[in-house]
Amino acid sequence: MGSGGGLLPAWAGHPQPWVRRNERESNVSLTEKRVQRLVAKGAAGKFNDGKGLYLVIESKRSANWTLRYQINHRKRWMGLGSARVFTLKQARERAKTAREQITDGIDPVIERQRARADRAKADAEVVLLFRAAAQLYFDQHEGEWRNRKHRSQVLTTLKTYAFPVLGNMNVAAIETEHVLRVLKPIWADKTETASRVRQRIEKVLDMATVLKKRTGDNPARWRGNLDQLLPKPRKVSKVEHLRALPYDDLPAFMAALRQRKGVAARALEFAILTAARTEDVISAPWREIDFSEAVWKIPAERMKRDRQHEVPLPRAAVDLLHSLYREDGNEFIFIGPRGRGLSNNAMTQLLKRMAYGHLATTHGFRSTFKDWCRDRTRFENYVSEAALAHATGDKVEAAYARSKVLDKRRRLMEAWAKFCASAPAAKSGPNVVPLHMGVAS
């Protein structure tokens, strides 16, 4: 009996009656090599090292050290960390420290909980700077932003525009005047960006309020606050639509594009043939392609509208996919230099190299497609809207539900691919293409 009163260490007398039979392997201690072998194999079970220390393996991904003990006639267990992080020697040292506490009548689990509570209390008293709050907000919400480009812009815009003014400020000290110092210099010239920066500052400060790091109204709030001090965004600047190539000039562009080698050229060609968004193309994995049905099935979690989008693939798109190199173990269709999907900028840079950078954007080809559908085909508007993954109300929603829409879309995409491969007009080319502003999104 220890000196702690009612204290019965788990290692006093072997085997313990509360240790199940299948946990009693032997009285032989573990070795480093055996631990490594068991962890690598993912051999499920509880492996006794003696004196209450166990290696608990549930799978190849879950292997942890656990100390079993009894204190004040109460059976307890305590996690000592991952076996992938702590070696057997380190686990024994951690177990020894815990047993010393038990011998002194201290429950190590309760003591650890008390220490965590003390640290949390101390952290709550620490000043929270805006740059740290912004990073915390980003880390907690990163998974909500499915669009890779948008996700990267959230923190980048704050670093660029807000941090020079607010970065080193205590969130509790930020007032409306400080927010205005961020926004006023860019409100007129970069209105859309400024509006997004304001929204992000507001959310960061809202989080700080929830964390009890600040009190009072949010100085970045628009309604009833900044709307009294800044002009409405829509009255300051007009929406600038993305540049789109006129469809009459598309065949010449496609002919030139097909002569280009490289992944970016094939990605852009595929994006045009499918009228897909850039992000959907560069992040597309092979598993989304159903070759048996010639359909690209983009899951809801990758779509702007949180619903699965099925793209009927024209023959030209299928042939393009079959021509691509497939790298073993790599899920991406269009592989970038680092082994992942292409960057957002890859196709934009390609357009510049082709001398089309000032005439078109990758996203603008969706407008080219929409204009062609409207002017050169007799397909109903909802068919082209469905092809673009747009929705404009109940009628369109109902149209999505009818199976014949996919058949119409397949005919539309085949017609579009045929047009893309048609003979170029005599005077087409980047030097004579008029500027056309598209609006499809």
Q: Could you give the residue range(s) of every CATH 3.30.160.390 domain in the chain?
A: 21-124
**Residue 174 CA from chain centroid, whole number:** 30
pLDDT at 404: 60
The pLDDT tens digits of the residues spanning 194-252 come to 999 999 999 999 999 999 999 999 999 999 999 999 998 877 655 445 578 999 999 99
DSSP 8-class letter at 246? -
Beta bridge partners of 64: 56, 82
Q: Could you give the residue range(s) of every CATH 1.10.150.130 domain in the chain?
A: 130-236
Helices 263-274 and 315-323, axial angle in degrees (round to 10): 160
Q: Could you give the residue range(s) of every CATH 1.10.443.10 domain in the chain?
A: 247-420
User: What residues of the chain score a pLDDT lower than 50?
Assistant: 1-27, 239-240, 394-402, 428-441
pLDDT at 427: 52
**CATH tag, 247-420:** 1.10.443.10
Please give the full DSSP string across 293-315, using - where no structure is assigned.
Answer: TTEEEE-GGGSTTSS-EEEEPPH
Alpha-carbon gap, residue 423 to 210, rounded angstroms: 62
Altogether, the residues listed in the chain come to a count of: 441
**Residue 406, token pair as written in the block:** 């996919």
pTM of the shown model = 0.49
Alpha-carbon gap, residue 351 to 346, rounded angstroms: 9
Is the domain 21-124 a CATH 1.10.730.10 member?
no
Is the domain 130-236 a CATH 1.10.150.130 member?
yes
Query: Do residues 218 and 206 lie in contact, with contact meaning Cβ atoms separated by under 8 Å?
Result: yes
**Residue 39 CA from chain centroid, whole number:** 30
Answer whether the bond into residue 424 is a cis peptide, omega within 30°: no
pLDDT at 17: 39
